[in-house]
Structure 1
């Protein structure tokens, strides 16, 4: 009986330690994400990450190895969360989907574009960025493929899907919002004005 109690106690302590380590890892990633959103990657210091997470630099290194490893872990976690948000953006109609997509970019677009721009600075991150781009293509097929005009040959359909991918890209959102000075609502309207004719709708 005593051995069973001792075993249960050890298991509880091991579980508690694992949960504490997991929370520490999440705090470190949160601190890295907070810095990455505002600071060029090459200017981020592990000292600042550790300070933001309220841990030592040694703890950061022990958990993630290097700054590159930490960035890769941060990007991987965020891309998984963003994919879930993106999947939820598919609506019943193109109008609903574009409205959700613009809201998604309003929340995450700047971070996505920064990731693409700086992906080459850390090993492992270019592959994650490429995976994100592939996900965007597949999302566009899922969100709008059924709305494309029927009876198109393969070449035409492929061209139309490529147009959809470009119209719905985060770069297009940025151009409309910041280069063009449009409001989020105006950007939504502009995207629909480009997208609906491609889908064969007025």
Structure 2
């Protein structure tokens, strides 16, 4: 009869192996999704990239939409941590960090928004991401949104800040406009600072 510590060790090892397999599958899906339109992503290719069988993918995630949902949920948690870290001591610091964030993640975020309707469960996650962005803007620039403003004006100011700091604005400036990251940062600040109180502009 095996001792309890041995059984526990084997159970722990199996659980860790299963978790690592799941992470490999999610990593493979993320790479495929970043490079390929969603409707052209094949689970067989994801499985091959992860070094597992398609049956393993189906058993773990149920379907291609289920796999994308799991991937997006994991990435949203990581992105939220990165966005939280982008809040700086000044608007200039915050915008610098935000542009750096979009340099790494902006294209994938915009792709998700554009293709969300193709997979059940993903539109809700995209909406959650938009709500997070609004909350982040409200918190990141709270000191700059004049406390003395009337409710309607304050709501309009926040909506403007949300638009200026959106990934779409980054794309228009950086990709469509051909600006460098430094020029994009400067352009965002030129749009943002007039919306903030004088004391917050630095």
Fold-level similarity (TM above 0.5) = yes
What CA RMSD, in Å, does the superposition of the two structures yield over aligned residues?
1.1
- The alpha-carbon deviation at position 156 of structure 1 amounts to 0.8
SS in structure 1 of the partner of residue 35 of structure 2? coil
Which residue of 2 is the match for residue 65 of structure 1? 62
- The alpha-carbon deviation at position 200 of structure 1 amounts to 3.2
Which residue of 2 is the match for residue 125 of structure 1? 122
8 Å CA contact 1:145, 1:161 repeated in 2? no
Which residue of 1 is the match for residue 90 of structure 2? 93
Gaps of 5+ in 1: none
Which residue of 2 is the match for residue 140 of structure 1? 137
- The alpha-carbon deviation at position 149 of structure 1 amounts to 2.7
Which residue of 2 is the match for residue 49 of structure 1? 46
Q: How many residues align?
A: 199
Post-superposition Cα deviations, 1:144-199, rounded to whole Å, max 9, x if no partner, equal 02112342111111110010000000000000011111111101000000100000
Q: 2:103 aligns with which of 93, 103, 106?
A: 106
Q: 2:176 aligns with which of 175, 179, 192?
A: 179
State the distance in 2 between where 1:64 and 1:179 align. 37
Which residue of 2 is the match for residue 76 of structure 1? 73
State the distance in 2 between where 1:162 and 1:68 align. 32
